[in-house]
């Protein structure tokens, strides 16, 4: 298993993982809230799973061994551990061993490197993560587009005929012509 610890809160992880995956050429296909996971002494810890897609790296593995289809896409789990968050994923080289194809570990290494880099970037404190994305400079406070969570947003069109929310809420005309 690959494991990275972070001092971030679990609520911050979705945006951090999405930004980090994007920087490493991957995308997040799904985020699942797996609820609460029971740990020792009856304490509960929240957990999220992120489904990671990197088509180029997956294509290489699938071309070499079609059985990888049962193991891809990869997932990163984020679980609250009391002092922050622990990020974990199965090492792709372990998947090679599971399929009894240790000869493919060299092909799995770039995927493992991408997953480790994504988790390490996401684990950075907010200021360090922004500085890393901007080439090492901190530009000050203020949100950027990649810091937005699209979870629970309302789509721009609300039905199959193309009706807009604005049309239903107002007169159907532009309220301020000329500008």
For residue 121, is it within any domain?
A: yes
Residue 166 has a pLDDT of: 63
For residue 92, is it within any domain?
A: yes
For residue 163, is it within any domain?
A: no
Q: What is the CATH number of the domain that holds 94?
A: 3.30.310.70
Counting every residue written for the chain, the total comes to: 179
Q: Please indicate, yes or no, whether the overall pTM of this predicted structure exceeds 0.85.
A: no
For residue 168, is it within any domain?
A: no
For residue 170, is it within any domain?
A: no
Residue 47 has a pLDDT of: 86
Sign of CA dihedral 13, 15, 20, 22: positive
The total domain count for the chain is 1
User: What does each of the 179 residues of the chain score in pLDDT, given as a tens digit?
Assistant: 999 999 998 888 999 999 999 999 999 998 888 766 555 556 666 788 999 999 999 999 999 999 999 999 999 999 988 788 999 999 999 999 999 999 999 999 999 999 999 999 999 986 554 555 555 544 445 555 555 665 556 555 555 666 666 666 666 565 565 55
To the nearest 5 percent, what fractions of the chain are helix, strand and coil? 45, 25, 35
Domain extent at residue 31:
2-139
Work out whether strand 27-38 and strand 2-6 pair parallel, antiparallel, or are unpaired: unpaired
For residue 100, is it within any domain?
A: yes
């Amino acid at each position: 298993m690959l494991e990275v610890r972070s001092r971030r809160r679990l609520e911050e992880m979705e945006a951090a993982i999405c930004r980090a995956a994007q920087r490493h050429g991957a995308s997040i296909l799904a985020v699942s809230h797996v609820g609460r996971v029971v740990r020792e002494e009856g304490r509960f810890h929240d957990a999220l799973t992120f489904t990671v897609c990197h088509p180029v790296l997956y294509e290489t593995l699938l071309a070499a061994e079609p059985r990888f289809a049962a193991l891809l896409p990869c997932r990163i789990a984020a679980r609250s551990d009391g002092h922050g968050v622990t990020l974990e994923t199965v090492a792709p080289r372990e998947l090679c061993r599971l399929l009894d194809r240790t000869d493919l570990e060299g092909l799995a290494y770039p995927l493992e490197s991408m997953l480790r880099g994504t988790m390490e970037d996401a684990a950075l404190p907010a200021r360090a993560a922004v500085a890393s994305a901007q080439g090492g400079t901190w530009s000050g406070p203020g949100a950027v587009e990649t810091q937005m969570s699209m979870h629970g947003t309302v789509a721009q069109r609300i039905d199959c005929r193309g009706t807009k929310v604005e049309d239903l809420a107002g007169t159907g005309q532009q309220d301020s012509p000329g500008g």
